[in-house]
A = this chain, B = another copy of it.
Amino acid sequence: MPSNDKLFAYNLGEIVPLSEARLHISDLSVQRGYGVFDFVKVQQGIPLFLDDYLDRFYQSAQLMHLEVPLSREELKQVIADLTERNQLPEAGMKIILTGGYSEDGFTPMNPNLLISQLPLTLPSDEKVAKGIPIMTHDYVREVPEVKTINYSMGIRLLQEQKAVGAEEVLYAKNGIVSEFPRCNFFLVTHDNTVVTPAKNILKGITRKNVLLLAGRRYKTEVRDIRLEEVLQAKECFLTSTTKRVLPIVRVDDVLISDGLPGEVSLQLLQDLKDLEEAQMTSPKV
């Protein structure tokens, strides 16, 4: 349980101390792993790209046949209230919608909405400068376009990941790369084209922003990527809300180029930081 005892959470219709935020065990998340969520980065009290995240959250809910008990404006108000209460300089805001308390342990009932906030640590400058090693695993998520709470595979692989010294697992099914459990994948070709998979992925908000930013400087492609192409790429990186743009320097046993973060990756990280900065000074734009 998070040890920070000064935080508040939104739980079943009210704001309560996070340490008291509980669900009855008949909830369908506990019984059947049934729920959706989203995760927004909050910097100095401002939830970045909030509308994009809320669009995706409502869409995930709809695709899993769950009705969000709050309107978009009500949800924004709760997020503002929580942010104000918690006063975290840099935070992750997690919005979970479960299948609700089920009488028979299988049929969804009135969905339960939970919103919590925890301090967030972004990758250090040192980590970015070094880049990370990753491993691959033959798998594709079952409903990739929906941000469900199902991370059975990603969590089950943590032990193997640690054993081989990898920091993330890249899913590739039948040789076609899709995504990480919590991040999107990009590569840069030797003619500086920025490429990201088109299919079987969760469409990350950071992925969208990075694609837009990349398009200002480089050629971009959204298409299938084969694993062999990854191993021969000039650069690889991942994107996510919490990791921004993080260079990848090794894939399984293969070094990418010279094993150092590439200039395109670092340029896009800087561009993303600038875009976030612009959001904070003028969040409506």
> Which residues, 3 to 53 on A, are CB-close (under 8 Å) to B?
3, 9, 11, 19, 21-35
Residue of B9, B33, B139, B142 near A25 (CB, 8 A) is B9
Q: Is A129 interfacial (CB-CB < 8 Å)?
A: no
Q: Nearest chain-B residue to A19 (Cβ)?
A: B24
**A1-B143 in contact given A151-B106, A158-B107 (Cβ < 8 Å):** no
**A25-B25 in contact given A35-B30, A64-B152, A149-B30 (Cβ < 8 Å):** no
Shortest distance between the CB of A122 and any CB in chain B (Å): 14
Tell whether, in the assembled complex, residue A156 and residue B65 are in contact, meaning their CB atoms are under 8 Å apart. yes
Q: Nearest chain-B residue to A143 (Cβ)?
A: B152
Contacts of A108 in B (CB 8 A): 155, 158
Q: Is A99 interfacial (CB-CB < 8 Å)?
A: yes
Tell whether, in the assembled complex, residue A149 and residue B23 are in contact, meaning their CB atoms are under 8 Å apart. no
Tell whether, in the assembled complex, residue A33 and residue B34 are in contact, meaning their CB atoms are under 8 Å apart. yes
Q: Nearest chain-B residue to A181 (Cβ)?
A: B106
Shortest distance between the CB of A28 and any CB in chain B (Å): 7
Q: Is A280 interfacial (CB-CB < 8 Å)?
A: no
Residue of B23, B33, B116 near A23 (CB, 8 A) is B23
Contacts of A35 in B (CB 8 A): 30, 33
Q: Nearest chain-B residue to A182 (Cβ)?
A: B106
Q: Is A118 interfacial (CB-CB < 8 Å)?
A: yes
Once bound together, how far apart are the Cα atoms of A30 and B101, in whole Å?
A: 12
Q: Is A134 interfacial (CB-CB < 8 Å)?
A: no
Residue of B23, B25, B26, B33 near A152 (CB, 8 A) is B33
Most B CB contacts (10 A, CB to CB) among A99, A101, A139, A142 go to A142
**A33-B29 in contact given A152-B142, A156-B143 (Cβ < 8 Å):** yes
Residue of B22, B30, B98, B182 near A114 (CB, 8 A) is B30
Shortest distance between the CB of A116 and any CB in chain B (Å): 7
Q: List chain A positions with a Cβ less than 8 A from chain B.
A: 1-3, 9, 11, 19, 21-35, 63-65, 94, 96, 98-99, 101, 103, 105-108, 114, 116, 118, 139, 142-143, 148-156, 158-159, 182
27 A-B residue pairs with CB within 8 Å: A1-B24, A21-B25, A22-B22, A22-B23, A22-B24, A22-B25, A23-B30, A25-B116, A27-B30, A28-B155, A29-B29, A29-B33, A30-B98, A30-B114, A31-B94, A32-B150, A32-B152, A32-B155, A33-B148, A33-B152, A34-B152, A64-B152, A65-B158, A106-B151, A106-B154, A106-B155, A139-B142
